Amino acid sequence: MNKIMGLDVGTKRIGVALSDYLLITAQPCEMVPRQPEEKAIGRLKQIAAEWNVKTIVIGLPFNMDGTKGEQAQDCIAFGSLLKNDFVVVYEDERLTSFMAEENLRRRSKPYSKHKELIDIESACIILQEYLNRKDKTNDGL
């Protein structure tokens, strides 16, 4: 069985989440530093191999008007580095950082000094939204 990986790709950090094997829930995994990029890609491939990941869902930060800005283009460029090894899917991630902060606040997690918690929680939200609406018979699973 395969898991699905969710990524919140930022300029400094990448939040990583993994699905369960039944593709029902997203769980936090870790934060991977974005630079150097080759090392980040290597770590993501290592996690994917360890957990039998074939599909990666990358959050795409659309502008509020639905257009793709600079950060969205950066996420697409990052995803292109993974396309030879994985099925790469993009998921709208508007407002996930805000939702992540709210989730962490409700659980009394100290996110203000640990920004990586927000990145990981955002990756969970991105992946969970994908899992909630996903017809899991597609994407090479």
- CATH number for the domain whose boundaries are 3-133: 3.30.420.140
Tens of pLDDT along 52-91?
A: 999 999 999 887 777 788 889 999 999 999 999 999 999 9
How does strand 3-9 pair with strand 53-60? parallel
More confident residue, 83 or 1: 83
Residue 137's pLDDT is 47
| Residue 136 confidence (pLDDT) above 80 | no
Q: Could you tell me where the DSSP H helices lie in 16-108?
A: 37-51, 70-80, 96-106
Residue 36's pLDDT is 96
pLDDT band at 93 (very low <50, low <70, confident <90, very high): confident
Tens of pLDDT along 22-60?
A: 999 999 999 999 999 999 999 999 999 999 999 999 999
CA 131 – CA 40 distance, rounded (Å): 24
Helix, strand or coil, per DSSP, at residue 23: coil
pLDDT band at 117 (very low <50, low <70, confident <90, very high): confident
**Cβ contact 118:102 at 8 Å:** no
3-state secondary structure 105-140: HHCCCCCCCCHHHHHHHHHHHHHHHHHHHCCCCCCC
User: Pick from 69, 59, 135: which is nearest to 91 by CA?
Assistant: 59
Q: Where are the domains of the chain?
A: 3-133
For the chain, the farthest-separated pair of C-alpha atoms sits apart, in whole angstroms, at 40
